[in-house]
Structure 1
């Protein structure tokens, strides 16, 4: 494999090069493929598995009745590479041939942020509770051990009594973010700030619990 294939791409490069059926969400290239049922989903996954084996590069696959979720990243390179772009294109071709409908706008990822003045003091609690372990070289990030639970991360801040210490970050396709923010506000939420948009918008529910809608884009 050439060195170029393992060069990580910037988010702007990913947006330019990725097939139109895919979006970058929280550092991974994602899509969802709608099928006619479980049997069709399984057949689609089996065909994807063949090209993945041939490429010696394997997507994360979520197999369900009526849909298949896919996520690509080059773990050995630490980000999205042209290898992911190429395999995404092959998967889109297979999906088109089989009549599966792409739904890239559905892709989302969730993380849990915890404000704390001392991450070392509370980290053991969260690792014992969830089974997460600190990321290599980044003790303030606790990735899911099997990809089935949200990543937990610690944000250093001074003690505060005006709100809770936990908040949810929901990563969505960049071209869906504004609609998601508007939907949250229409559902009774409050826009706390869009100072950091389009990287993230801070919102609150009626009780003051915070959440952010996040994208790959840099803030203004």
Structure 2
């Protein structure tokens, strides 16, 4: 039996705010290691802790940074196991003297507006080589994900009528809740405009100078 899924607000309150942020139902942390050798050492320590806990994160090792993402796949969400492993990893980075980049985590999704989701989703699954992602609710249309975990997720938004006057695909950029407003301001200062903040802080709708849209999203303000 899968462990109970914790709410985003509960997980956020319980993990080390210096390191961890919740994005799209996963715990993320980016650590500024500075060198590849320090990064390798950090990954080795994380691997040992994960093996001990029997719960394994996704780890991305780059020259000057290590990114860690935690989720309980069997529960399709965050559980006590993720909170516990996050605490272990926080202790490891403190021991190594490695600092986190709290605004570093980011998740990118591509949203397709469609009148007939069932008709278009198989095409995108085939052309991208993606697979179905477990839906967040029984009646929700499943998104598509890269089985290798590298590409952005693709999800489908139900249209109520044709909208030939506007773009049908937009980007959803999910960022830590405490950097979202700064990201929105930066986009506007870079020549964009605010289309709507009616749903903020769940998401802000922005557009570039030619009307192409992107949403800056957080976990906050959602049911």
Return the offset for 1:136: 4.5
Contact 2:206–2:214 (Cα < 8 Å) also in 1: yes
In structure 1, which of residues 7, 18, 42 is the aligned counterpart of residue 40 of structure 2?
42
Other structure's SS at 1:203 match: strand
Report what 1:198 is aligned to. Answer: 201
Gaps of 5+ in 1: none
Return the offset for 1:139: 4.7
Contact 1:18–1:88 (Cα < 8 Å) also in 2: yes
Q: CA RMSD in A?
A: 1.6
Alpha-carbon distance in structure 1 between the residues aligned to 2:3 and 2:206: 37
Report what 2:149 is aligned to. Answer: 147
In structure 1, which of residues 52, 61, 64 is the aligned counterpart of residue 62 of structure 2?
64
Which structure has greater helix proportion? 1
Contact 2:180–2:217 (Cα < 8 Å) also in 1: yes
Report what 1:14 is aligned to. Answer: 11
Alpha-carbon distance in structure 2 between the residues aligned to 1:148 and 1:56: 24
Contact 1:119–1:140 (Cα < 8 Å) also in 2: no
Report what 2:170 is aligned to. Answer: 167
Pairwise mapping of residues 31-180 of structure 1 onto structure 2 (< 5 A)? 31-136=29-134, 139-157=141-159, 158-180=161-183
Aligned length: 217
Alpha-carbon distance in structure 2 between the residues aligned to 1:60 and 1:15: 19
Return the offset for 1:161: 1.7
Other structure's SS at 1:208 match: coil
Alpha-carbon distance in structure 2 between the residues aligned to 1:170 and 1:136: 20
Alpha-carbon distance in structure 1 between the residues aligned to 2:34 and 2:213: 38
Contact 1:200–1:219 (Cα < 8 Å) also in 2: no
Contact 1:30–1:104 (Cα < 8 Å) also in 2: no
Return the offset for 1:155: 0.9
Return the offset for 1:129: 1.3
Deviates more, 1:118-127 or 1:207-216: 118-127
Contact 1:197–1:219 (Cα < 8 Å) also in 2: no
Q: What TM-score does the superposition give when structure 1 sets the normalisation length?
A: 0.94
Q: Which string of whole-angstrom CA distances, capped at 9 and with x for unpartnered residues, describes residues 115-143 of structure 1?
A: 01012222232122100122356654112
Q: What TM-score does the superposition give when structure 2 sets the normalisation length?
A: 0.93
Alpha-carbon distance in structure 1 between the residues aligned to 2:76 and 2:133: 13
Alpha-carbon distance in structure 2 between the residues aligned to 1:112 and 1:90: 33
Deviates more, 1:48-57 or 1:97-106: 97-106
Other structure's SS at 2:131 match: coil
